[in-house]
Chain A
Amino acid sequence: MTSSPATVQAAGTEGRTSLRQFTRVLGAVILLFVIWRVTTVGLSEGYPASFWISQALNGLVLGGVYALVALGYTLVYGILFMINFAHGEVMMIGGITGYFALQFAQARGWMEGPWAVVVVALLLIMFIGMAASVLIGVTLERLAYRPLRQAPRLVPLISAIGASLFLQYSVLLIFGVSPHSYRKPALISGGLRLGDVFIPYTGAIIFVTSILLMLALYFIIQRTKLGRAMRAVAEDRSTASLMGVDVNAVIVVTFMLGSALAGAAGVMLGFHNTVVKFNSGFLPGLKAFTAAVLGGIGNIPGAMFGALLLGLIEAIGPSALGIPTEYKDVIAFSLLVLILIFRPTGLFGEVLSEKKA
C-alpha cells in the first residue's frame, strides 16, 4: 500500500501504521486544497456551464485517443510484463500511413464524391493505417522483443526505447522533417453546434469509434477462445503452454490487437488535429502510458477509465485550478505521481497480471 518495502520492513509494524496514517493525512490535505482551489476559482472566474461542457467534451475526445493507445500498453504488459515504449511510434506510423492513403484517395477525387463513397474511403484509410501499424507492431515483436524473451526484464524495455528512436528517425529520413497536413473532406469538417457548445465531427467520431473498438476488444478477450488463451497466457505462460496454448501465437495476436487500436488512434488523431510528423507519437504515447499506469497497468477496464480520466483532467484541470493551460502536462503527470503514492497498483489494480515475478 505505501512506500518502498525496505523502509517498511525496517520500521516494523508500528512504522507501517504511522506511515499509512501519514499518507492518509497527506492525501486528505491535498484533496482539501484542490477542492478549496477549485471552488474559489470557480466562483471568481464565473465561466458559464457551456464552457465546462466544451472542456469536458475536449477531454473525452483526448481520453478516447489515449484509451486506444493505452490498451496496447496494457495488453502487452498483461502478457509479457514489459512496457512497449515504441507503442507511440506504432500509432505515429498509422497516422503517417493514413496521410498517404488520404493523399491517394484525394488524388482520385473520392473525397468529393457522394457521402457513401467518402465514408467507404475513410474506413479504407483507417483500415490501411491500422494494417501498417499491425505490420510494424508484429515486426517489432519478432525482431526486437522475442529474442529477448528470456532476458532480464529491463533488457526488452531498453530494446523498446531503441526501437522507438529507430522508428522516429526512420520516418524522419524517409518522409522528411516537415509536418504532413491532413485535409479533412467536407463531410467531416465542421461540427455540431448546440447552443454555446461546439462538437467537431472528428471529435465525435473519435469518441464513438474508440468506445466501439474498446467494446470489441473486451468482447474478444472475455468471450472468444482466443481471448481465453490470452488470459491463460497472462496468468501463467508455462502452464498455458502445457495446456496446449500456442504462446508465441497468442503474443503475436496481442501485439496485433494493440497495434491495430493504436493505428486507428493515429489515423483519427490525424483527421482531428490535421498534422502528423515523425515525433507526433511521442507525447500521446507517454500520456497513454500514464493513463495505463493510472488505471492499473495490465488491467483493460483500468486503461479505458484511466485514459478518459486523464483526458478530462488535462482539459478541465487548468481552468478549474485557475492556472495557465500550458501546465496541462504538469497536472497530468502530478496526478500520476499522486495516484502512485496512494494506490501504487493504479486505480483498478493489476488484474490481468496477478501472478508475476
Chain B
Amino acid sequence: MSKKLTIFSLFLVAALMMAACAAPQPAAQAPAEEAPMEETAADMSGKVVIASGSMIRIGGSFALTGPIPDPGLNIRHGAELAIDDLNAMGGLEGFMFELVAEDGACDGTQGTNVGNKFAADETIVAVTGGTCSGETFGLVPILLEARIPFVSPSATNPDITSADCDVCNRVALSDALQGATDADFVVNDLGLTKVAVVHDNSDYGKGLAEIFQSGVMELGAKVSSFEGVQVGDTDFRAMLARVGADGPQAVFFGGYSTEAGLIAQQMTETPGLEDTAFMSVDGAYTQQYLEAAGDASEGTYISFVSGADSEEMNEEFDAKYMEKYGVSPDDLGPFHSQSYDSVKLIAAAIAAVASVDDNGNLVIDREELISAIRSVDAFEGLTGTIKCDSIGECGAGGVQIFQVSEGDFNQVSGFGME
C-alpha cells in the first residue's frame, strides 16, 4: 500500500514537473482541428465585417505573469495608450478601437493558448505581441493558419520573422543585431579575449547567447564555457563555481531580469569571478534587474535594442503615461514605446485597407491587411520612422550598450552616441 502511494506520488511529481517546466515549444498541431473551419470561413469571405456601433478589436498577448511581469504590464500600458489616442482622434470612419488583452505569460504553451483564443474569435482583426520570443513562437503557427497578422513589440529572436511567415512582424530589432553588437563591444571595446556565456534556456535567452557566442568566436576571442540555467532558478552558485574555474574575463548572460540580477550578485561570492565583468541583454534592461542585483549591479553592462526616439513625441507619451498609471514608464520596463508603435502601426495598416460598405459596416480584408502591414513605409512612431521590409522587420533604431553606475543605466556605446 505504501509503495503504491510512493509510486503514485512519483508520477504526480513527474506530472507536476512537466506542468511547471513545459518546454516552450510551438504546438504546430494544436490548431489542426479548427483549421478546416477557419479555411472555409476565409474562403467564403476572408473579411472581418464590423457592424456599425461595434469595435475594431485588436488582440494583445502580454507577459503579465511569468519571469518578466513588470515589462509585460508596461507593454500592455503602451498598447492601451495607443488605443486611447486612436479613439481620441475619432477612431476609424467612426469605428472605435478595442484592445483584447490576454496573458501570454512569456511562455510558449501559454502563447499557444492565447493564439487559439484569438483564432477562435472572428472579430479579432490583428494582434500586438507576444512579449517574449518563446510566447511568440507559440502564437506563430496558429495566427498563420487563422490569417491574423501580428506585430510584436519586443520578441527579438531572429527566427520570429522569416520569408515563410507572412503574418509575422515586429517593431523590435532582431537579436542577430544585438548579439553581434554585444560581441563586438566585449571583444573590441573592452578588449577581452576569454568570456563565459550563460543562458536561461528560453527561446529568447538561448538564441541570443548562441548568436553572441558565435560572434565572439568570429572576432577571435575564446568562449571558456557555455552553460544553461532555468528561468526561475535562484541559486546559481554551483554553475558559477564551474564557470569561475576557467577564469573568464567576462560573463555574458542571455535571459531575463531576475536571473541576470542574481547571477551578477552571486558572481561576487564566487572565487575567480569577484571582479569579472558581467554583461546581459535587453531582457534585463529593467529596474527589476537593478533591484535583484543590488550593489553588484555597479559596473555591469546591459544592451538594449533601442528605437530612434523622437524627443518631443516621447515627452508627450511619458506625460500621458504618468497621468494614467501614476508611474514613469521606464520604472516598469523598456518596451512601452515599441508597444505603442506596434498598435499604431496595425491601426495605420487597417486604415489603409478598411472600407465602409452600403450597410454601414466596416469591412477589412484579412489578406489585404497582411500585405498592408508589410507595405508600411515612413510611419512616424515613438521609436522613429518605421518601414517594414518583406519579411516583417519593422524596427527602427539600433543597439545601445549601457553600464550601471550609481544604480542607473548610463549609455557607454552604440546607437545614438556618435
Contact = CB atoms under 8 A, between A and B. Distances in A.
Say if A and B assemble together: yes
Interface of A: 4, 47-48, 50-51, 54-55, 58-59, 62, 81, 83, 85, 153-154, 157, 161, 172, 176-179, 181, 183-184, 190-191, 193, 196-198, 200, 272-275, 279-280, 282-283, 286, 289-290, 293, 297, 314-315, 318-319, 324-326, 328-329, 333, 336-337, 340, 344, 350, 353, 356-357
B262 A275 contact: yes
Given A51-B245, A198-B271, A326 B234 contact: no
B269 A274 contact: no
A325 B229 contact: yes
Nearest to A197: B271
A99 B288 CA distance: 16
B2 A326 contact: no
A318 B238 contact: yes
19 contacts: A4-B3, A54-B270, A83-B5, A83-B9, A177-B66, A178-B288, A179-B288, A179-B292, A273-B234, A274-B294, A289-B13, A293-B6, A318-B242, A324-B228, A325-B239, A333-B13, A340-B10, A344-B3, A350-B2
Interface string B94-131: 00000000000000000000000000000000000000
A273 B235 contact: yes
Contacts of B10: 293, 336-337, 340
- Going nearest first, the 5 A-B pairs with the smallest beta carbon separation are A326-B228, A177-B69, A273-B234, A325-B239, A357-B1
Given A51-B241, A297-B6, A198 B269 contact: yes
A325 B236 CA distance: 9
B20 to A, nearest CB: 6
Contacts of A280: 234
Contacts of A286: 13, 16-17
B230 interface: yes
B367 interface: no
A153 B229 contact: no
Contacts, number: 127
Given A58-B237, A177-B69, A198-B270, A273 B1 contact: no
B162 interface: no
Given A51-B245, A58-B237, A81 B2 contact: yes
Nearest to A65: B235
Nearest to B234: A273
Contacts of B6: 293, 297, 340, 344
B361 interface: no
Contacts of A200: 269
Interface of B: 1-3, 5-6, 8-10, 12-13, 16-17, 20, 64-66, 69-70, 201, 227-230, 232, 234-235, 237-239, 241-242, 245, 258, 261-262, 265, 269-272, 288, 291-292, 294
Contacts of B65: 172, 177
A55 B241 contact: yes
B258 A275 contact: yes
A193 B294 CA distance: 21
B271 A181 contact: no
A48 B246 CA distance: 11
Contacts of A356: 1-2
B69 A157 contact: no
A318 B239 CA distance: 9
Contacts of B238: 55, 58-59, 314-315, 318-319, 325, 328
A139 B336 CA distance: 43
A324 B227 contact: yes
A216 to B, nearest CB: 26
Given A50-B271, A178-B69, A183-B294, 18 more contacts: A55-B241, A85-B12, A157-B8, A157-B9, A177-B69, A179-B258, A181-B291, A181-B292, A196-B272, A198-B271, A273-B234, A274-B234, A280-B234, A289-B9, A293-B10, A325-B238, A326-B229, A344-B3
